[in-house]
Amino acid sequence: MKVLSLCSLVISSGLLGGARPAASAPATEPVTVVVSSLVSTTSAVKLYFYNTRAGFLKHGQWAFSKSVKPEGKSEFSLPVELPKGEWAVAITQDLNNNDKVDKNFLGIPTEPYAFSNNVRPTLAAPGFDECKFVVDGPGKVVSIVLKD
């Protein structure tokens, strides 16, 4: 049984590797990610951006990640620039600031997490197609409610 293998994705976060040269970077579009219903107004929220099915929810396979401090708010907006195409976002909130998503003995996260399209997995991690959204022009807004 595949029990939320999303844990291994989000859980072991790291820093994004080397940057690509600007000359080969595709044109980007402004996208705003709005995250609401934060469990903590002080604990960091980590967002992992994916643009491939093969790498979705795999450790280190995200296109890039961002960390946001809520600064006393239960909601925030994060503007990002994304190349046109299909994208998905996975989010975690590190309530005890130990730089990982804590899990129970079954491997299920005990800290809040969420996915784009507000996908709510039950027994297994969601797939890229469930969570994807399309960036095809300016002004895209992706709203995500953090799961408690």
Q: Looking at domain 6-12+29-145, does it have CATH number 3.40.50?
A: no
For residue 1, what pLDDT is reported? 42
pTM: 0.81
Over residues 105-129, the pLDDT tens digits come to: 988 889 999 999 999 987 788 999 9
Give the β-pairing of 140-145 and 85-93.
Answer: unpaired
The half-sphere exposure of 101 on its side-chain side, counting CA atoms within 13 A, is 29
pLDDT in tens, 56-82: 999 899 999 999 999 999 999 999 999
Amino acid making up residue 50? Y
Instruction: Give the pLDDT of residue 101.
Output: 84
Sign of CA dihedral 96, 90, 63, 107: positive
Domain regions of the chain by residue span = 6-12+29-145
